[in-house]
Structures are given as C-alpha cells and as structure tokens.
Amino acid sequence: MASKKADKSFEKVFRRLEETVAKLEEGGLPLEEALALYEEGMGLAQSCQELLDQAELRISHLQKTFAYRDDASREPQEDEEPIYAPEDEEDAEG
C-alpha cells in the first residue's frame, strides 16, 4: 500500500502549503488554530522538500546514464584514451 505522501503530487502539496501560509499571514486566528496550521504547513514544506529531493535524484541519475551513453558512443579524440564500456570487455573475451 502506498504512503499518503506518495499519493500526492508536488503541485497539490505545494498548493495546500500556499493556502496554509496565506491563512496564517491573514492573521486573526485563535492561537490553537494558528498552531495547527503552522504544524500542518511545516509538514507540507517537508513533503515538498522530499518530493523535490526525489526529483533531483532522478534527474541526476538520468544525466549520469545519458552522459555515460554519450561518452561510450562517441569517437575518442587524438589526445585521449578510448572509453571502454563493460560490454566491450565481454565482446573481446567471447
């Protein structure tokens, strides 16, 4: 079963965070209600940060994957060593 955080998109969580902040900025709330909103806002901010961190990791992984593919497929320049991918070794042995 998926967690509650996984069920929400970044956009939905961020929108809710914006609404929470707007209510707090308006002021005039009873202390307990303001504290509850603040606590909710902190949780939403943490959820947003976790979603952004996950997205950053995915992007980094994709960049490394495509950089490796690009490096492995291009021709070596005169002044550099050739790049050998693990599959090159298997081809040479077998």
pTM, 2 dp: 0.62
SS (H, E, C) the chain: CCCHHHHCCHHHHHHHHHHHHHHHHHCCCCHHHHHHHHHHHHHHHHHHHHHHHHHHHHHHHHHHHHHHHHHHHCCCCCCCCCCCCHHHHHHHHC
| Span 5-60, pLDDT tens digits | 455 799 999 999 999 999 999 999 999 999 999 999 999 999 999 999 999 999 99
Q: Where are the domains of the chain?
A: 9-73+84-93
Residue 75 has pLDDT above 90, yes or no: no
Q: Output 26 or 69, whichever has higher pLDDT.
A: 26
Q: Which fold has domain 9-73+84-93?
A: Helix Hairpins (1.10.287)
